[in-house]
Each structure stands twice: as structure tokens, then as C-alpha cells.
């Protein structure tokens, strides 16, 4: 018989919702399955996926809370009479953030209803390539059939199962943003961008925070699977962590945890090996947060039954350039797919383009090249295009020119803030045209700075064109237009004020 | 026990009534005042009210439906009136589930399926 829906989307996150809504615009019959398995700690949330509930949104808001803390410290220099130190209330912040997230959950519900997309709060599992069994929390079952199925189930944080007590006593980002009470003295392991961002804002709101890292602060960045972050190790990662250290985050370097135990006081005792000194150390914390990577959420989909191929190492679904899986009419987008950035905007764009190809006579594929991104650590790191390492690997050191500069944001001067790690570098081809391959910026508002330059890179901007671009004064971004000291020259790259 | 309707006028009366029923699900429809003929100065409220009333039978048991007249047009237009300031209302009609971010504003209230969704979803 005929399938009930033109499109079934499994997963109501950034990618899934964008795909569903776009398909509905074409007048198609669309259904979305969304379901959140509670975290081991019991945390759960509404419609919208990781970004809205336990990712980008709450993260950026709490990062903002921490930045405001810094601004309060700067304020007396600018003439403000503020009682120092200012006290921060986790519960006031958390409630405000959680309320905003809930309003987004509702907003998505209204949008789906309005666009006539059928929403089912159910967990899905394949019966055959066009049939998915869905069941509610209460166990009620529904069969859904569709001509086309898009898997957009995203991922969930992993636990370091080799650490005794990790699952029992530790939390992840899934839980952190929904805590009603302050996490208190926190240990964050390991060095992924999630860990740094969270440790960063926790320190910023006045909490005693430590980050544990097994090796040099770059390994973890690999797992972000973002084109520029993937390899932008040494320099950028060190600068970011150096800044955090100077602002009070403790770094337990070359250590790895062996066990977590609960004390009588209800605090947690963490024991770890210090590989430098060859000793065992321990300390007590109120909260232990794991940031060891994310695993694709595919376990209960029953992919084997329909033959959807996954990467044996990562478990992620293998897709081609059109987001098609190994099974006709079954597609996958977003964090659940192999080799794609784990980013909201790419999932949304991929979802929309997929819907346009399926129902709108388009043939445009998603362009994953030069995706800009930003890590929202206390001193932010934004980038677009190739890392220095990737450019050298691709074109050879002789064909790559790296322009760089250490600069000082004007706002830091009066506030007597240390700008040692404020830095930028631009990677260009050395030959005639001098095309810009990548841009990397560490400083305040890095995301805002890099966004515009992403357009330039997409258009194939060259170094000469950049030099003809007049800067806006006084800003940090203008320093990009003035980059002229090369790494090759070995000259001092510190910019002097105007 | 099914649901019940309470009619109030003005911010103070609304807050007192909401507090009285604390613990039960509270839904509220905010509309502009009605004249002697029972017509509101707010044309969207005139459109929305019958749509909302038609869906009231979907209200969960034990819930309270507060029908609140906010005031005259001049009061409503004041950007500092208590409804705007304290309840963060941005327009009338507004239909909301008290104590949650769940609400429908203006034309959203014309859609029966959205009203039903607000009344029946968690």
C-alpha cells in the first residue's frame, strides 16, 4: 500500500527540524519523531535537540554570564562604583537560561503545528526501509511509514568507562546546564572544546575549577571534527588554555583519572596518575564533569535490520555528498553522520538542501568547505578555512605564507587587562594570487569578527584584496586588514597602538 | 473535577486570583475591555475569544481558566503597564499557561489546533 508520509524525520534537533519544516513548505506530508533518553543522571529536555537544550544556547548564555563577571571587574577602572567582589547566583542564572530554553522548545512545537508537521514524542526503530516503529515513554506503540526517511538523531556525551565510578558519580554537559544548584568546585576532564568552554564559564562565575588533560592541549581538539579546529593545535589551543590558566582555571597537565569515589560529605574524591612525576594524586570536588567526546545516537534505531552502513570505529552513519545512506530513500544529516562537522548551521543547511532536492527540483549539494566556527572559551577563538598545519600538509611549507600579529583590544587598556594571548594569523598561498586559505583569531567577540571574513574566503579573497580593504577603527577586527608580518620573517609580530 | 472559569479585570485581580489557585494548572486569556454592548476595543480579541472558548472542553481536569480584561485601549498602549512589565505580555489577545513559557499571541490565538495544543500538551 501507499506510505503514510512523504517524509519521516527521526530526531527533532537542528538538522531534523530544518529538514522537516522545509519539506512542509513544499506541501508535503511530514512527520517528526523526537525523543530524549534521560541521561544517566536523569536529566531530560524538550523538543529542539542538543543545540537548543544542552549545547550552543545554554553554553553561550552561561559564557555571557561569565563575561559579565569580567566586565564588572573592569568597571571600576572606567569610573563605576561597584562593590567588589560581585557575587554570582547559579540558581538565578540557571533558571533564566532554562526558562529561555523551554520557550524555544515551545516555539518549535508551535512552528511544527503551524506548518502542519506531525510531531510524535516517540523513540523510533526501523522495521523495514520505509517503516519505523515508534513508542512513547509509556510504551504505547505506533507504526509510521514514509517514502523518504531522514535520520537526524545526533549524539550524546560519552563516559570514560575505564575510570572507576565515572558513570555513577560524574555528569556531562547533558546535566550541567540543567543543574538547579551550583556545581561548586568542579573538575572537568578532558581537553575537548566543550570541557574548556564549560571550565571557562565556571571559573568566570567564581567557581573553583580544574581541567584535567592527559597530554598536550591539542589532542582533544581533533575530535571536534571541524576543518580548522581539527588540526589547529599547538599555537591556538595553547594560547586559549594559557589565558584560562592566567585567569584562574587550574590545569592538571599530563594526568589521567583512575577512579572517582563518593565521600561521607557527599563530595567526590578523584584519584589520578600524574604521568610527569609518576605519582598518584587526589583531590575532592563537588562535581566531576566528563567531556570525552560524543557518540552517535544510533543504538536503538535497528540500522542493521535495514542495512544502513555505519563507520565501524565511530558508529556514525556513512553518507555521500547528497546525504544518502547505503539504503535508497534513507538519508542522514547532522552530528550522527560520519565526516561532517558537529555544528548546528551545517546540519540546518544540509537539512534544508536535502528537502529541496527531494521535493523541490533542486540539485544543490551542501558545501562543507570553509565552515567558520568559534570556541567560546573566556578568550574566544574563531576560525575559518584551513589551519596552518593543514595548509602546509596540502601545499607544502614553501607555498604557504602565514601572516600573524599579537594585538591589544582597546577596551583592555584602561581596564589594565592582560592581552598576551590576543593573537591572529592568516594562512595564504604564496604564489601570485596569494589566495587566503584560512583565518584564525583569538580575542573578544571572535565569532562576530570571523563571520564576515567567511564570506571573503568563500569568494576566494586574496591577500592583496584584503590589503585594499579599509579597517574599521577602533576595533580588533581591523587588525586583520593590517596583517603584514610573516612567520617566515621571524620579526616581532606585536602590533603597536595607533 | 473538571475545569472552572474565573473572570477578572485588571492586573491586581489577576495576580490575586492566580495566587489563590496556586498548585493547579492555570490558563489565562487576556483581552481588551468590553463596552456596554459587550464588544472589545481589540478586534483580534473579538476574533480569538470564540476560538478559545470552543476548545475549553480540552482543558485538563482541575485546571483554572482565567478570563482577564486588561483595561482600556489607552492603558494597554502604555509601554509600562503592569501586564507588559510584570507578565511580559507583548500583545492582546494573549493565551498562556501560567508559570510556563507556553503562550500564544495575537493571530496564533485564531488557530484552533494551536489553542488545543496549548491546553493539552505538557
Give the CATH number of the domain where residue B79 resides: 3.40.30.10
A226 lies in the same domain as A253: yes
Integer-rounded Cα radius of gyration of chain A: 24
Question: Does residue B115 sit at the A interface (CB-CB below 8 Å)?
Answer: no
Question: Does residue B109 sit at the A interface (CB-CB below 8 Å)?
Answer: no
Q: Point out the domain boundary residue: A235, A267, A292.
A: A292
Question: Does residue B15 sit at the A interface (CB-CB below 8 Å)?
Answer: no
For chain A, what is the domain count?
A: 3
A34 lies in the same domain as A111: yes
- Cβ within 8 Å of residue B90, ≥6 positions away: B84, B105
A287 lies in the same domain as A179: yes
Q: Which of A36, A115, A110 has the alpha carbon at shortest distance from B117?
A: A110
Residue A223 predicted with pLDDT over 70: no
Is B109 annotated in the active site?
A: no
A179 close to A94: Cβ distance less than 8 angstroms: yes
Mean pLDDT value of segment A419-438: 95
A150 lies in the same domain as A130: yes
Global ipTM: 0.90
Contact map slice: A 475-494 vs B, CB within 8 A: none
In a domain, A150, yes or no: yes
CA dihedral A332, A333, A337, A339 (to 10 degrees): 130
Q: Which residues of chain B register pLDDT less than 50?
A: none
In a domain, A443, yes or no: yes
- Residues from chain B contacting residue A102 (CB–CB below 8 Å): 100-101
Question: Is residue A175 part of an annotated ligand binding site?
Answer: no
A185 lies in the same domain as A148: no
For residue A291, give the DSSP letter: -
**Continuous segment of H or E residues that includes residue A385:** strand A380-385
Question: Does residue A109 sit at the B interface (CB-CB below 8 Å)?
Answer: yes
Question: What confidence category does residue A214 fall into, taking pLDDT thresholds of 50, 70 and 90?
Answer: confident
> pLDDT at position A216, please?
59
In a domain, A497, yes or no: no
Length of chain B: 122
Question: Is residue A335 part of an annotated ligand binding site?
Answer: yes
Q: Which residue of A has its CA nearest to B115?
A: A110
CATH number at A50 reads: 3.50.50.60
- Residues from chain A contacting residue B108 (CB–CB below 8 Å): 110
A25 lies in the same domain as A72: yes
- Cβ within 8 Å of residue B75, ≥6 positions away: B81
Range of the domain at B26: 4-120
A267 lies in the same domain as A168: yes
For residue A247, give the DSSP letter: T
Question: Does residue A37 sit at the B interface (CB-CB below 8 Å)?
Answer: no
Residue A1 predicted with pLDDT over 70: no
Could A113 and B117 be called an inter-chain contact, meaning their C-beta atoms sit closer than 8 Å?
yes
**Whole-angstrom Cα distance, residue B25 to residue B52?**
17
CA distance readout (Å), A153 to A48, A295, A350, A467: 11, 11, 14, 44
Question: Is residue A60 part of an annotated ligand binding site?
Answer: yes
In a domain, A43, yes or no: yes
Question: Does residue A95 sit at the B interface (CB-CB below 8 Å)?
Answer: no
Chain B closest-CA separation from residue A425 CA (Å):
44
In a domain, A374, yes or no: no
Question: What confidence category does residue A496 fall into, taking pLDDT thresholds of 50, 70 and 90?
Answer: confident
In a domain, A17, yes or no: yes
Residue A229 predicted with pLDDT over 60: no
Chain A closest-CA separation from residue B102 CA (Å):
6
CA angle centred on B109, ends B106 and B115, rounded to 5° = 150
> pLDDT at position A190, please?
80
In a domain, A10, yes or no: yes
What digits encode the pLDDT tens for the residues A296-319?
Answer: 999 999 999 999 999 999 999 999
A225 lies in the same domain as A329: no
For residue A462, give the DSSP letter: B
For chains A and B, count residue pairs whose Cβ atoms are closer than 8 Å. Answer: 20
> pLDDT at position A467, please?
96
For chain B, what is the domain count?
A: 1
Q: Which residue of A has its CA nearest to B105?
A: A110
Check B31, B42, B68, B109 and give the catalytic one. Answer: B42
Mean pLDDT value of segment A50-69: 98
Could B114 and A106 be called an inter-chain contact, meaning their C-beta atoms sit closer than 8 Å?
no
Question: Does residue B100 sit at the A interface (CB-CB below 8 Å)?
Answer: yes
Residue A141 predicted with pLDDT over 80: yes
Q: Would the CA dihedral through B14, B15, B16, B22 be positive or negative? A: positive
Residue A232 predicted with pLDDT over 60: no
Chain A closest-CA separation from residue B113 CA (Å):
8
- Residues from chain A contacting residue B102 (CB–CB below 8 Å): 106
A165 lies in the same domain as A188: yes
Question: What confidence category does residue A432 fall into, taking pLDDT thresholds of 50, 70 and 90?
Answer: confident
Q: Cell triple for residue B51?
A: 476560538
Could B102 and A113 be called an inter-chain contact, meaning their C-beta atoms sit closer than 8 Å?
no
* Residue to test with chain A: of B87, B94, B101, most A Cβ within 10 A: B101
User: Which residue has 570514560 as its cell numbers?
Assistant: A160
For the entire predicted model, the pTM comes to 0.94
Q: Which of B54, B56, B34, B29 has the alpha carbon at shortest distance from B119?
A: B56
Question: Does residue A106 sit at the B interface (CB-CB below 8 Å)?
Answer: yes
Could A102 and B114 be called an inter-chain contact, meaning their C-beta atoms sit closer than 8 Å?
no
A351 lies in the same domain as A455: no
Residue A294 predicted with pLDDT over 50: yes
What digits encode the pLDDT tens for the residues A260-290?
Answer: 999 999 999 999 999 989 999 999 999 999 9
Question: Does residue B104 sit at the A interface (CB-CB below 8 Å)?
Answer: yes
A279 lies in the same domain as A341: no
Is A473 annotated in the active site?
A: yes
Could A110 and B104 be called an inter-chain contact, meaning their C-beta atoms sit closer than 8 Å?
yes
Q: Characterize the bridge pairing of strands A123-128 and A118-120.
A: unpaired
**Whole-angstrom Cα distance, residue A14 to residue A8?**
15
A446 close to A372: Cβ distance less than 8 angstroms: no
> Strand ranges (DSSP E) for B18-73?
26-31, 64-69
User: Which residue has 546540519 as its cell numbers?
Assistant: A347
A51 close to A14: Cβ distance less than 8 angstroms: yes
Number of other CB atoms surrounding residue A149 within 10 Å? 29
Range of the domain at A183: 158-292
Chain A closest-CA separation from residue B36 CA (Å):
35
Residue A220 predicted with pLDDT over 60: no
Task: Round the average pLDDT of chain A to a whole number and report it.
Answer: 94
Integer-rounded Cα radius of gyration of chain B: 13
A225 lies in the same domain as A176: yes
In a domain, A279, yes or no: yes
Residue A493 predicted with pLDDT over 50: yes
What strands lie across the sheet with B103-105, from one edge to the other?
B4-9, B64-69, B26-31, B94-97, B103-105
Mean pLDDT value of segment A309-333: 97
Amino acid at each position: 500500500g501507499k506510505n503514510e508520509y512523504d517524509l519521516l524525520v527521526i530526531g527533532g534537533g537542528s538538522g531534523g527540524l530544518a529538514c522537516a519544516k522545509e519539506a512542509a513548505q513544499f506541501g508535503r506530508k511530514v512527520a517528526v519523531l523526537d525523543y530524549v533518553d534521560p541521561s544517566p543522571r536523569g536529566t531530560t529536555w524538550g523538543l529542539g535537540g542538543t543545540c537548543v537544550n544542552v549545547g550552543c544556547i545554554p553554553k553561550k548564555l552561561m559564557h555571557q554570564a561569565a563575561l559579565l563577571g569580567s566586565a564588572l571587574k573592569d568597571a571600576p577602572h572606567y569610573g563605576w562604583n561597584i562593590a567588589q567582589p560581585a557575587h554570582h547566583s547559579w540558581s538565578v542564572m540557571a533558571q533564566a537560561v532554562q526558562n529561555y530554553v523551554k520557550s524555544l522548545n515551545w516555539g518549535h512545537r508551535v512552528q511544527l503545528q503551524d506548518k502542519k508537521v506531525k510531531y510524535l514524542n516517540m523513540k523510533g526503530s526501523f522495521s523495514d526501509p520505509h517503516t519505523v516503529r515508534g513508542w512513547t515513554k509509556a510504551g504505547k506503540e505506533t507504526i509510521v511509514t514514509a517514502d523518504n526517511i531522514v535520520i537526524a538523531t545526533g549524539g550524546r556525551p560519552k563516559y570514560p568507562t575505564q575510570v572507576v565510578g565515572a558513570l555513577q558519580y560524574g555528569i556531562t554537559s547533558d546535566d550541567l546546564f540543567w543543574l538547579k544548584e551550583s556545581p561548586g568546585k568542579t573538575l572537568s576532564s578532558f581537553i575537548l572544546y566543550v570541557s574548556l568552554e564549560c571550565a571557562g564559564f565556571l571559573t568566570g562565575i567564581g567557581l573553583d575549577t580544574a581541567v584535567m588533560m592527559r597530554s598536550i592541549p591539542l589532542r582533544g581538539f581533533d575530535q571536534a571534527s571541524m576543518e580548522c579546529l581539527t588540526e589547529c593545535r599547538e599555537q591556538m589551543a595553547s594560547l586559549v588554555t594559557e589565558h584560562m590558566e592566567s585567569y584562574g582555571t587550574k590545569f592538571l597537565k599530563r594526568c589521567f583519572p583512575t577512579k572517582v569515589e563518593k565521600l561521607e560529605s557527599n563530595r567526590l574524591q578523584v584519584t589520578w596518575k600524574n604521568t610527569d612525576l609518576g605519582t598518584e594524586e587526589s583531590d575532592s570536588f563537588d562535581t566531576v564533569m566528563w567531556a570525552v567526546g560524543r557518540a552517535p545516537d544510533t543504538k536503538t534505531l535497528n540500522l542493521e535490520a535495514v542495512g544502513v552502513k555505519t563507520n565501524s570505529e565511530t558508529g556514525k552513519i556513512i553518507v555521500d555528498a547528497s546525504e544518502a545512506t547505503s539504503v535508497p530513500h534513507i538519508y542522514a544529516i547532522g552530528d550522527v553522520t560520519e565526516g561532517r562537522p558537529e555544528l548546528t548551521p551545517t546540519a540546518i543547511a544540509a537539512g534544508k538542501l536535502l528537502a529541496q532536492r527531494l521535493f523541490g527540483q533542486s540539485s544543490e549539494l551542501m558545501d562543507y568547505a570553509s565552515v567558520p566556527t568559534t570556541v567560546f572559551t573566556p578568550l574566544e577563538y574563531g576560525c575559518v578555512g584551513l589551519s596552518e598545519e593543514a595548509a602546509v600538509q596540502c601545499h607544502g611549507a614553501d607555498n604557504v605564507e602565514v601572516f600573524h600579529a599579537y594585538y591589544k583590544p582597546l577596551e583592555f587598556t584602561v581596564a589594565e587587562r592582560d592581552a598576551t594571548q590576543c593573537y591572529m594569523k592568516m594562512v595564504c598561498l604564496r604564489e601570485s594570487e596569494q589566495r587566503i586559505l584560512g583565518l584564525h583569531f583569538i580575542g573578544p567577540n571572535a565569532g562576530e569578527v570571523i563571520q564576515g571574513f567567511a564570506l571573503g574566503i568563500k569568494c576566494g579573497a586574496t591577500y592583496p584584496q584584503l590589503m585594499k580593504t579599509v579597517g574599521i577603527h577602533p576595533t580588533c577586527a581591523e587588525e586583520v586588514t593590517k596583517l603584514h608580518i610573516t612567520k617566515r620573517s621571524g620579526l616581532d609580530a606585536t602590533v603597536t597602538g595607533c | 473535577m473538571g475545569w472552572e472559569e474565573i473572570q477578572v479585570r485588571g492586573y491586581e485581580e489577576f495576580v490575586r486570583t492566580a495566587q489563590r489557585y496556586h498548585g493547579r494548572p492555570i490558563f489565562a486569556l487576556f483581552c481588551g475591555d468590553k463596552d456596554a454592548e459587550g464588544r472589545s476595543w481589540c478586534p483580534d480579541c473579538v476574533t480569538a475569544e470564540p476560538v478559545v472558548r470552543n476548545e475549553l472542553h480540552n482543558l485538563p481536569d482541575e485546571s483554572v481558566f482565567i478570563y482577564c480584561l486588561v483595561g482600556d485601549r489607552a492603558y494597554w498602549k502604555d509601554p509600562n503597564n503592569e501586564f507588559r512589565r510584570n507578565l511580559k505580555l507583548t500583545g492582546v489577545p494573549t493565551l498562556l499557561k501560567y508559570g510556563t513559557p507556553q503562550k500564544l499571541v495575537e493571530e496564533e490565538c485564531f488557530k484552533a489546533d494551536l489553542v488545543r495544543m496549548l491546553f493539552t500538551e505538557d
